[in-house]
Structure formats: C-alpha cells, structure tokens
C-alpha cells in the first residue's frame, strides 16, 4: 500500500494517521476493541502457562496420592484435589497443553480440508465438480456435529490425541468450505483473474497464486473462532470418555471425574469448566476483534 500523507484540504478532516503498512493499520484497528485485546492477552498467558507447565506444577501428570483425596481448596492446593488426590490446579495446567494442542491442530485440519475443498469448488463454480463437491459437504454438515464425532470416535480402535485432532477437524470442515467457495465465486470474476487467464496461466496457478491470498483474511478469522469450538468439542468428547485416554490430562475428562462428587467436592468439576469457558471466550473475543480489524466493512 502506498504511503499517503493526509493533507488537510478545505473542509476535510485530518486523519492524523498515515497508512504506512496494511499490517500496522490492522493492528491499530484491532487495538481499538478492548475485549479483543483482553482476549489476546489471556491467550498469550495461557500459551505461556502451557509451555511452562513442567515448571509451574509440582507433580507429574499421573501422580496419585489417595491420602489426599477430595480436599477442599487450601493454601497447599489452590483449587483442591480430586478423588485420586491429584491437585486440580496442576491438572488444569497440564490439561491446557492438551486442549490447546488439540484445539489448534483440529482447527488447522478443518481449515486445510475446508479451504482446499471450497477453493476448488468455488473456482469451478457451476460445473458438476462444484455441485457434487458441495452436496457432499452439505451432507456432512447436515449430521449433528457431536453425534458424528461420537460415531467416528467409536469406530476408531484406539483414540488418542492425534486421532482426536483429526476426527474433530475432519467433521467440521464443511462450514469453511462454504465460506471459501463463496469468496472464490465472487473473486473469480474480478479483473486480475480474467487477466491471468488471458495470459494463459493454468487453472491451478490461478487458484493458488492469485485468488487465495484474498480469502486469507476470512480463513484466519474463521480459524480463530474454530479453535474455540474445537476446544469445546474436545471437552465434550473427553467428558463422554471418547477423548484421549487417561492418564492424559484433559479438561473434559477432569470435569467428568468430578461428576460423582458434585455435592462433596464441587471444585473438581467447577474449575476445569471455568478455564474452558475463559479460553473459548478469549478466542471469541480475539476472533471478533480480528474480523473487525481485518475488514472494517464487516464490522457491525
């Protein structure tokens, strides 16, 4: 973007800001939303916590100390202990690694499959390629997500973190395919795509070198929001027992462990849920702020 100096003309407001670079203006717009910045800050702290987990926790992941089971929150155990004597706070810190990893990767898988699918379908919009691809995506989209997740998870012989990532990603991509296809359909008609074609560039080249960068903004925003949804899906799977098997710490599993002791030890189920909520909320704030910053026209 060329650099522009805002010279005050008669009757014209001076913006006071020169459009130095697109990235900088995006950041400036982003900063205007208080909630978005808070979301980003929280996420950075969360990632820091996950990375520094070995330093922040006292015990390793599968430490069991039955003598201390179901202790109320105290100076020694800030969030209490669960029925196996595990410190809830430690479980949450270790669990953040699992949840963040699964969230990011699952969203990434969904974005990869969905964008590629939508890009191809959108580029060949109107032809049988497009129609059949989108019908298939729509069929998957029709099946309620959690149910589809459970069925696929039940079919896999052994669930682990990797399979979970893939399952969540492989069942949630249709939405993104629709988005990307829509973008491609409208951008396809624009001048530079036609000019490229006139010069003789191959279809493949046109898709990936010319059109795709313009839909990147939409994909990034959608991906951010999807991480939050993936974390919720992972929590649901973990709660129902179809997530990563114990002793892998996961927030969903932590909640289910506390279910039987809801009256006597409510802290076990409460804290993991609080953290899931805060994390997903942070992703939602961040995603909203990102969307507003990347395209002011989308702002409502």
Partner 1 sequence: MNAIRRYLVRRLLQMVVLLLLVTIITFGLMLAAPGGPERVLLAGEDPNISAEQIAHLRELWGLNDPVYVQYFRWLNHTLHGDLGNSFFNQKPVAQVILDRLPATLELGAVVIVLTYLIAIPAGVITAVKQYSWMDYLVSTFSLAGHSMPSFWVGLMLIFLIALHSGGAIPTNGFAAPGVTLAVSGLIPFLIDRARHMFLPALTLLIVGLAALTRYTRNSMLEVLREDYVRTARAKGVGEKVVIYKHAFRNALLPVITLSAGLLASLFGGAVIVEQVFSWPGLGFISIRAINQRDYPLVMAFLLVGAILSMLGNLIVDVTYVLVDPRIKYS
The binding site for partner 1 (CB under 8 A) comprises 135-136, 138-148, 150-152, 154-155, 157, 228, 232, 235-236, 239-240, 252, 255, 258-259, 262-263, 266, 269-270, 272-273, 276-278, 280-281, 284-285, 300
Which residue, 43 or 207, is less far from partner 1 as judged by CB? Answer: 43
Q: What's the min distance (Å) between Cβ of 200 and partner 1?
A: 33
Which residue, 79 or 235, is less far from partner 1 as judged by CB? Answer: 235
The 8-class DSSP code of residue 173 comes to -
Which residue, 110 or 211, is less far from partner 1 as judged by CB? Answer: 110
Rounded Cα gap, residues 171 and 234, in angstroms: 12
Cβ–Cβ contacts within 10 Å for residue 34, how many?
Answer: 10
Phi-psi region of 231 (alpha: psi -120 to 50; beta: other; left: phi over 0): alpha
Q: What's the min distance (Å) between Cβ of 158 and partner 1?
A: 10
Q: What's the min distance (Å) between Cβ of 282 and partner 1?
A: 9
**Omega before 247 cis (within 30°)?**
yes
Rounded Cα gap, residues 273 and 279, in angstroms: 10
Rounded Cα gap, residues 48 and 70, in angstroms: 28
CA distances 214 to 43, 44, 113, 119, Å, are 27, 27, 18, 12
Residues 125, 181 contacting (CB under 8 angstroms): yes
Which residue, 207 or 251, is less far from partner 1 as judged by CB? Answer: 251
Which residue, 124 or 286, is less far from partner 1 as judged by CB? Answer: 286
Q: What's the min distance (Å) between Cβ of 290 and partner 1?
A: 15
Which residue, 202 or 297, is less far from partner 1 as judged by CB? Answer: 297
Q: What's the min distance (Å) between Cβ of 163 and partner 1?
A: 13
Q: What's the min distance (Å) between Cβ of 104 and partner 1?
A: 17
Burial of 217 (0-12, 13-18, 19+ CB in 10 A): middle
């Amino acid at each position: 973007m060329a650099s522009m100096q805002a010279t005050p003309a008669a009757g014209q407001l001076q913006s006071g800001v020169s459009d130095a670079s697109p990235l900088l203006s995006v950041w400036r717009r982003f900063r205007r939303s208080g909630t978005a910045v808070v979301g980003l800050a929280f996420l950075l702290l969360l990632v820091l916590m996950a990375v520094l987990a070995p330093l922040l926790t006292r015990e390793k992941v599968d430490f069991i100390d039955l003598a201390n089971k179901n202790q109320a929150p105290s100076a020694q155990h800030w969030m209490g202990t669960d029925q196996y004597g595990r410190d809830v706070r430690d479980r949450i810190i270790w669990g953040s690694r699992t949840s963040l990893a699964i969230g990011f990767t699952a969203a990434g898988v969904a974005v990869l499959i969905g964008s590629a699918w939508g890009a191809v379908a959108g580029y060949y919009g109107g032809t049988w390629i497009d129609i059949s691809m989108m019908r298939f995506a729509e069929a998957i989209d029709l099946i309620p997500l959690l149910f589809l997740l459970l069925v696929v998870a039940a079919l896999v012989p052994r669930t682990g973190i990797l399979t979970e990532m893939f399952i969540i990603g492989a069942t949630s991509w249709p939405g993104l395919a629709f988005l990307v296809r829509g973008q491609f359909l409208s951008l396809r008609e624009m001048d530079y795509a036609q000019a490229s074609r006139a010069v003789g560039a191959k279809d493949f080249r046109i898709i990936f070198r010319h059109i795709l960068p313009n839909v990147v903004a939409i994909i990034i925003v959608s991906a951010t929001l999807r991480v939050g949804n993936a974390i919720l899906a992972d929590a649901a799977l973990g709660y129902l027992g179809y997530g990563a098997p114990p002793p892998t710490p996961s927030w969903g599993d932590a909640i289910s462990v506390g279910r039987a002791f809801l009256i006597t030890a409510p802290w076990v189920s409460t804290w993991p849920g609080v953290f899931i909520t805060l994390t997903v909320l942070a992703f939602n704030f961040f995603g909203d702020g990102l969307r507003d910053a990347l395209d002011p026209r989308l702002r409502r």
